[in-house]
Chains A and B, each alone.
Chain A
Amino acid sequence: AQTVTQSQPEMSVQEAETVTLSCTYDTSESNYYLFWYKQPPSRQMILVIRQEAYKQQNATENRFSVNFQKAAKSFSLKISDSQLGDTAMYFCAQSAGGNKLVFGAGTILRVKS
């Protein structure tokens, strides 16, 4: 069964600094997708960034980038120039066996002014 592990329950960062959230996963599939979702207090899950496993180039979206290490099954999220609005729960997820997503337990990120 596919599993996603986020080993950091909570992280804090000063505004304008950089923070990296860790994620490891386990799968036997050859092609899959990896995602980082953000869930603010409003509860709505918002897609931050997506990586297709067969693409070696790391995905980037403005201040957000990933470090995808396929052999190590690692998928970390780097947030540059952190902003107060980045404060949220961040979930790492993997597509597994068709359409379903398997999520990690999440990392609470607090951006401090």
Chain B
Amino acid sequence: DAGVTQSPTHLIKTRGQQVTLRCSPKSGHDTVSWYQQALGQGPQFIFQYYEEEERQRGNFPDRFSGHQFPNYSSELNVNALLLGDSALYLCASKTGWFTYSGANVLTFGAGSRLTVL
């Protein structure tokens, strides 16, 4: 059973460019979240998608946008890249909207390492 898969694993961009990161959730999961993890820090919540809509958003500027497709996969787009956007971007999936009870836990992918030069 494949877990959460993310692509690409590494990428390098220059300031001002745009980037798209992709995520396929674990089989059976329909809710996708994105987190940004700067070096040496804990992950920070960017946003979450459920039923193809952004349901919750963290404290990130509008340069960060996303999309969820009918097959539950998701994309994270970042425009006008800044040096400070360099980080590990983690995708996580779960089932349903609210609860974390029972077998419903957040499963993470291995992340996409973005370097902005």
Contact = CB atoms under 8 A, between A and B. Distances in A.
A70 to B, nearest CB: 17
Interface stretch (A11-19, A40-48, A73-81): A40-48
A50 B42 contact: no
B41 A33 contact: no
Interface in A71-108: 91, 93, 95, 97-106
B97 to A, nearest CB: 7
A45 B41 contact: no
Contacts of B66: none
A102 to B, nearest CB: 7
A97 B111 CA distance: 24
Interface residues of A, number: 25
Contacts of B33: 99-101
A48 B70 CA distance: 31
A50 B100 contact: yes
**Considering the complex of A and B, which 8 residue pairs feature the smallest CB-CB distances, nearest first?**
A103-B42, A45-B108, A100-B45, A44-B110, A33-B100, A103-B43, A43-B111, A43-B110
Given A93-B42, A100-B48, A105-B42, 5 more contacts: A44-B110, A100-B33, A103-B43, A103-B44, A104-B42
Interface of B: 31, 33, 35, 40-45, 48, 55-56, 58, 88, 90, 92, 94, 97-98, 100-101, 105-111, 113
Interface of A: 4, 33, 35, 37, 42-47, 50, 52, 91, 93, 95, 97-106
20 contacts: A33-B100, A35-B105, A45-B108, A46-B108, A52-B100, A91-B42, A97-B56, A98-B55, A98-B56, A99-B31, A99-B48, A99-B55, A100-B48, A100-B56, A100-B58, A101-B43, A101-B106, A102-B45, A103-B43, A103-B44
